[in-house]
Structure 1
Amino acid sequence: MPRRSAEERAPNQVDVARVAGVSTQTVSRVLSGHPNVRPETAHRVMAAVDAVGYRLHAAAASLASGRTRMLGVILVSTARYSTSAILLGVESVAAEEGYAVTTASVAQHSAPASFLEAFDRLEGQGAEGIVILAPVGFLAEALGSRTERTPTVGHRQADGVGDDALVDQRAIARAATEHLLDLGHRTVWHVSGDEFWQESNARREEWERVLRERGVTPPPVIPADWSPESGYRAGRTIAAIPDVTAVFVSSDEMAFGVIRALHEAGRTVPDDVSVVSVDDIALAAYAAPALTTVRQPFEDVGRATAKRVIEMIEKREAVATEPLRPELVVRASTAPPHGA
Structure 2
Amino acid sequence: MNPEHATGAGSIEGTASRKTSPKTGGVWTQYVRNRYLFLMLFPVLIWYGVFAYGPMYGIQLAFKDYMIRDGIWASPWVGLKHFEYLFSLSPDFWHIIGNTLIISAYHIIFGFPAPIILALLLNEIRFPLFKKIAQTISYLPHFLSWIVIGGILISLLSPGTGVINYFIKMLGFDPIYFLGQEKYFRFTLVTSAIWKEVGWGTIIYLAALAGVDSQLYEAAVLDGANRWKQTLHVTIPALLPTIAILLIMRVGGILDAGFDQIYTLYSPAVYGVADVLDTYVYRVGLQGMQFGMTTAVGLFKNIIGLALVLSTNYIVKKMGQEGLL
Q: Which category describes the TM-score, using the shorter chain as reference length? A: under 0.3
TM-score between the two structures when normalised by the length of structure 2: 0.26
Query: Which structure's CA Rg is the greater one?
Result: 2
TM-score between the two structures when normalised by the length of structure 1: 0.25
- Larger relative helix fraction: 2
- Larger relative strand fraction: 1
